[in-house]
Amino acid sequence: MDTHVANLDEQYDLSQLKETDLDPDPFKQFQKWFEDALKVDLNYPNAMTLATADKNNRPSARMMLLKGADEKGFVFYTNSESNKGEDLAQNPRAAMVLWWAKLERQIRIEGKIEQVSEQEADSYFRTRPRGSQIGAWVSEQSRVISSRKVLDSRMEQLEEEYRNREITRPPYWLGYRLIPVSIEFWQGRPNRLHDRLRYRLVEDGRWTIERLAP
């Protein structure tokens, strides 16, 4: 089947990225670009691809939502018994990518993974819509199920069970923080000669900025 993928070419020419544009602190630079993304009315500006690998270095990736970003790292939440949760238990390293087509920008982040505290996870869980809280109990994420009816029936059961009750966080629903060792800011440029500026953590805890060939 010919899907004409090779013909889907596009020139990037909105902007450029120079070393003098960057904040010395990569977390402040991330915040600046994220605020730019919010201004252009993107759908899910916090959508990201999370890549993990299991103990045999078999990779997998999926779309998720970033739920926190500060000088400590980048936070997301998931079922620890899912495929990605098992990957992170076996191999606590990951990479994430945010892509903002309207800005012709992406950010690539690589580093090690740690769990957020129980208190932090509980605090975030309480902010979730009630349906999403129940959904965390409903789904045995990544497991084979016989039909959609399994989920719908379980949802109805738990909605009744939790009626007029607080919904606590499932013990397997955890928060993870990616602590970066590398953060790359990518700006699309004409002729595929994109600007790629990478912050790399060096031994003394400083960040060095490097320009990469596109």
Q: How far is CA 159 from CA 12, 132, 193, in A?
A: 48, 11, 53
Nearest to 178 by CA among 98, 123, 82: 98
Tens of pLDDT along the chain (214 residues) come to 556 666 667 789 899 999 999 999 999 999 999 999 999 989 999 999 999 999 999 999 999 999 999 999 999 999 999 999 999 999 999 999 999 999 999 999 999 999 999 999 999 999 999 999 999 999 999 999 999 999 999 999 999 999 999 999 999 999 999 999 999 999 999 999 999 999 999 988 999 999 999 9
Q: Please tell me the distance from the alpha carbon of residue 176 to that of residue 116, in angstroms, as a whole number.
A: 5
93 and 53 Cβ atoms separated by less than 8 Å: yes
CATH architecture, domain 11-128+171-212: Roll (2.30)
Nearest to 77 by CA among 208, 197, 12, 170: 170
Residue with tokens 């945010």: 98
Structure pTM?
0.92
Q: Please tell me the distance from the alpha carbon of residue 21 to that of residue 38, in angstroms, as a whole number.
A: 19
| DSSP H or E segment with residue 134 | helix 130-138
Nearest to 36 by CA among 185, 191, 210, 198: 185
**Ramachandran angles phi, psi of 106, nearest 5°:** -140, 155
Interacting residues of 208 by C-beta distance below 8 A, sequence separation 6+: 199, 200, 202
pLDDT at 8: 67
Nearest to 178 by CA among 72, 91, 89, 62: 72
Query: Which positions are catalytic?
Result: 192
